[in-house]
Structure 1
Amino acid sequence: MTVTGRQKAALLLLQLGKERAARVMAQLDVAEIEDLTSEIMRMDRVDQRLADEIVDEFYGVAEIGPGVGGGPGFAQQLLEASLGKEKAAGMIERLQASMAGHSFEFLQKADARQVVSLLDGEHPQTVALVLAHLRPDHASAILAGLPVDVRADVAHRIALMERASPDVVAVVIEALQRKASAVLQPRELAAVGGVQPLVEIINRADPTTEKSILEGLFERDEALADQVRSLMFVFGDVVLLEDRAVQLVLRQVETGTLAQALKGSPTEVRDKILTNLSDRARENLVEEIDLLGPVRLSQVEEARAAIVQVIRGLEESGQIVVRRDAEDELVA
């Protein structure tokens, strides 16, 4: 069995007992403590011979009892002894949240259409719970595949969701496990859902799905819909970007796409883009816009969505920081 250095350190701490282990962890930085605690939370019972070998490797002498216990309970006690209850609670919650997605790992690798079929007939709250645990891009594809009348309901429930009971999640996992014939070992989880996860899901949806979800949200909860809209980046928000950020974006957009996107756009948006082009590029773009003639609205929306995706990609990679108010924007 291959054991990593982090796992060896975690095993050693388990054998020191809470008080001595706490003194050791108190000498580590926060990142190291989180790494070791994450390993401890994954451990339940460890083979005695392996434990002996680890102790022998570190100290040359093994003096432990029968078996080594770990798990969330031990991890929390250890953290409370070294960091205090308040900091320990926050760290445990962050670790549990980061581990939550593993509970639905078999869905992470499944095709979105397969997941849609799997969730067919499930209560919207169940669907919301599942999507809140998946990667935003995967959840977005699944949300787009749901019936139109279900999308907004599910989106609304994701936004209002704060925490998920481990018992409820276990029931959902067990039911989906039976339907999908997949092997899954559920783990405890903490905070899931909320407005920001919903925004990330919608941001990755196609324009038609995005519009459908927002309209449905508006019908159910106008204030929530406004909150979601305020956190989303749309094509018109390009005026909020610094000039250097706009220039980075324009390098990745073809002139034809840009010309279609600017059809019927507000003057301030058009000016923002044109002023960040060279004289020659500006002339070529204006000429192409004039040559286009009437353009279908769907084509304009697709072009604008493509540019927004470029902006979101640059933001996610850290090359630009998008501001949505009067704050300064930083460009790497």
Structure 2
Amino acid sequence: MSTMLTLSRAQKAAAILVAMGKPSASRLLKFFKQEELKALIEAARLLRTIPQADLERVVAEFEAEFTEGAGLLDSADKMDTILNESLSPEEVDAIMSGKKAEAEPSGPPPIWPQLEKLEPQRLGTFLAGEHPQTAAMVLSMLSPQPASAVLLILDKPLRSEILRRMVTMTVVPETATRIIENQLRARVLAETASRDTTAGQIRVASLLNEMDKTQLDETMQDLEAAGTPDLDGVKARIFNFDDLPLLTQKARVLVFDGLSSEVVTLALRGAPPALTEAVLSSIGQRSRRMIEAELSQGSEGIPLADIMGARKTIAATTVRLAREGAYELPSAPSADAA
């Protein structure tokens, strides 16, 4: 009995595909149904090395209807190679298990967007204790804005060393990337999820920042009397327009650098002299003269709601820059002091 007579139809098809070579076979595999591919894989794994004469008879049988093939070495190994280069591992596993293949996830690994949402101080403190090359790799995976905020947290010598390594960094091997991701997930994200109350503090502080000074002081007194936990963290994120003189000169310059003179002028209408001077001393001379000229004309006819809206815009800008790591907000006074 010849070898050819012992081959099933699926084994003959597998032999033909291997004989056609990878490029042609790979294109044809896309047209097979899932159950047909499964039968081909199982048939190919049962094949032994087919003698050339028997292969030629298989090809001749197929040639009568379609096309001619070439030689064959080891059918099972060849078929595995074709499948691996044509289909993803998930697709092959789905075919053999009879399950529908799921699309591979696209986009960046989920750990990096999570890290970008952390407070810069949290990630900066962690990276300060790591090797500069590790810190450089982590920051290179983040978006420019959060990466810059974390860099500002670090000491200048370490910051310079990390930047130097980022400039010369090439493609990081996938294995090394996975190791670092696992460490970050276990040592940063897990700890943050279990103990960090930053998100809640930010939410409460955002609500309190919408209040005027009198309402804010009354609410803070009530929270202290009620023994609210993590209140210090909330205080550290509270900032009112009246607190601008408490900022350093450098911080005030950063705040007003991106604000229009119209917003600043509107916010200063009716403001105390000390507060007005703290603001005007933080902007350029030309803008200062323009704002002073506008303020000298008085505030009659200007809605109070517009003035308060401008002040909240400046306060919100100050808080945002602090969260990005540009500077630290001044410590809020206690309710008793207020």
Question: Which TM-score band (shorter chain)?
Answer: 0.3 to 0.5
Q: Which has the higher contact order (CA 8 A, sep 6+)?
A: 2
TM-score by length of 1: 0.37
Please, what TM-score do these two structures have when normalized by structure 2? 0.36
Looking at CA atoms only, which structure, 1 or 2, has the larger radius of gyration?
2
